[in-house]
Amino acid sequence: MKERGKIFLLVLVGAFIGSDLRYLESLIFKTTNGFPLGTLVANLTGAFIMPFLIHYLQDRYNLSSKVVLTLSTGLLGSYTTFSTFTADSYRLYQSGNWVSLLIYLTITILGGFVVAILGNYWAASRAFNDYVKKEQDR
């Protein structure tokens, strides 16, 4: 099998796992008031995990580009979901639930940005702590 075919299959496996996790999360965070909490949790946790994966785990464990693609594009790409975010936003708009719509948009967009920054800081902190520990062990 050619290299591209192997990468395609790895991303496919990651997407399979990510979509199953996303569905499970939608069941766990199901609300009775129509607020899309499951999508919000998926998108915020994905925004937090992605920079940590890229900036810490990849360097710390020397992950190959195949593993990073599997986890980022495959798993996290199917776990987080812009299309569901858009559909949920439109549903809140159509139902006239303006307060929930504003809260959802604000938390998703600004919250996603903030947790991505936090994920970067967490990655940098872990990398620094690993460096200090390595130096102390010398």
How many Cα atoms within 13 Å fall on the side-chain side of residue 56? 20
Q: What is the pLDDT of residue 138?
A: 84
Q: What is the pLDDT of residue 81?
A: 86
Residue type (1 letter), 97: N
| Annotated binding-site residue? 77 | yes
Q: CA 18, CA 72: separation in Å to the nearest integer? A: 10
Q: Length of the chain in residues, anyone?
A: 138
Query: Nearest CA to 14 among 63, 73, 86, 74?
Result: 74
Alpha-carbon Rg for the chain in angstroms: 18
In the chain, the N- to C-terminal Cα span, in Å, equals 44
Q: What is the pLDDT of residue 17?
A: 96
Per-residue pLDDT of the chain (138 residues; tens, 9 = 90+): 688 899 999 999 999 999 999 999 999 999 999 899 999 999 999 999 999 998 888 888 888 889 998 999 999 999 998 888 999 999 999 999 999 999 999 999 999 999 999 999 999 999 999 999 988 998
Indicate the pTM of the whole model.
Answer: 0.85
Q: CA 5, CA 126: separation in Å to the nearest integer? A: 34
Q: CA 78, CA 108: separation in Å to the nearest integer? A: 17
The alpha carbon of 103 is separated from its chain's Cα centroid by a whole number of angstroms, namely 20
The full set of domain ranges for the chain reads 3-137
Q: CA 32, CA 37: separation in Å to the nearest integer? A: 10
Joined together, the tokens standing for residue 28 give 């766990």
Q: What is the pLDDT of residue 3?
A: 87
